[in-house]
């Protein structure tokens, strides 16, 4: 490796680490201001009746994580959750609204449609156990807006031939 590219790598590594370390650097009790300094502005803010808020940070389409930062009515951080995991995905259920799914898992990576079944399909990519690339499809009835079906698949990035 030549010196120029190793210098570039040395410059890149901290930049990449900063991207990952951002959310783990948010401590319970941190202020809203500190959260913004560490990870920037959220893609969306959910306001609860009790004055608390949930800030949504999807890292897709390149990343496979979505973080939810909960702030108490005092504007201090209560908790930070990475929601694209089995723990949260398993909470999806038939009959749920789009809004409930959005609050649970954050913004989908993509939204598709099926004219045949009059469905709207939300999809997310995530990593399972830190090793498997997964695809999640959540199908909603377009007319009623109710969740009909949840399916998960492991993505085979090869040519289909098993090693």
Partner 1 sequence: MIAALHRAAALLAPTLLAAACASFSAVSPGDSAPTVEARVGAPGAVWKNADGSEVWEYPQGFYAVQTFMVAFGSDHVVREVHEVLNETYFSRIQPGMSREDVRRLIGKPREIWYFPARDEETWTWRYRDINYRLFNVLFDRSGGTVRSTLRLDEVLLLDGGRAKH
Using omega within 30 degrees of 0 as the cis cutoff, is the peptide bond preceding 61 cis? Answer: yes
**Whether 78 contacts 51, CB under 8 Å:** no
* CA–CA distance, 140 with 34 (Å, rounded to integer): 37
Piece in contact with partner 1 (CB under 8 A), picked from 28-36, 45-53, 67-75, 88-96 = 88-96
Binder among 121, 125, 126, 140 for partner 1 (CB under 8 A): 121
Q: How far is the CB of 134 from partner 1 (least distance, A)?
A: 8
Applying CB under 8 A, what is the total number of residues that bind partner 1?
A: 29
Taking the least distance from each CB to partner 1, the nearer of 69 and 121 is 121
Q: Report which DSSP code applies to 130.
A: T
Q: How far is the CB of 97 from partner 1 (least distance, A)?
A: 15
Helical pair 3-24 and 32-39, crossing angle rounded to 10 deg: 160
State yes or no: residue 129 binds partner 1 (CB under 8 A).
Answer: no
């Amino acid at each position: 490796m030549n010196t120029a590219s190793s210098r570039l790598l040395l410059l890149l590594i901290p930049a990449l680490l900063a991207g990952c370390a951002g959310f783990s650097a948010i401590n319970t009790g941190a202020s809203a201001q500190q959260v913004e300094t560490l990870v920037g502005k959220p893609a969306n803010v959910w306001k609860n009746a009790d004055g608390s808020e949930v800030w949504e940070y999807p890292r897709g389409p390149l990343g496979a994580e979505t973080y939810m930062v909960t702030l108490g009515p005092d504007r201090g951080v209560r908790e930070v959750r990475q929601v694209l995991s089995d723990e949260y995905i398993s909470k999806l259920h038939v009959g749920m609204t789009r809004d409930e799914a959005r609050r649970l898992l954050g913004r989908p990576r993509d939204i598709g449609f099926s004219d045949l079944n009059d469905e709207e399909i939300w999809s997310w990519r995530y990593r399972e156990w830190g090793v498997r690339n997964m695809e999640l499809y959540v199908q909603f009835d377009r007319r009623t807006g109710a969740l009909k079906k949840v399916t998960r698949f492991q993505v085979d990035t090869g040519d289909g031939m098993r090693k």
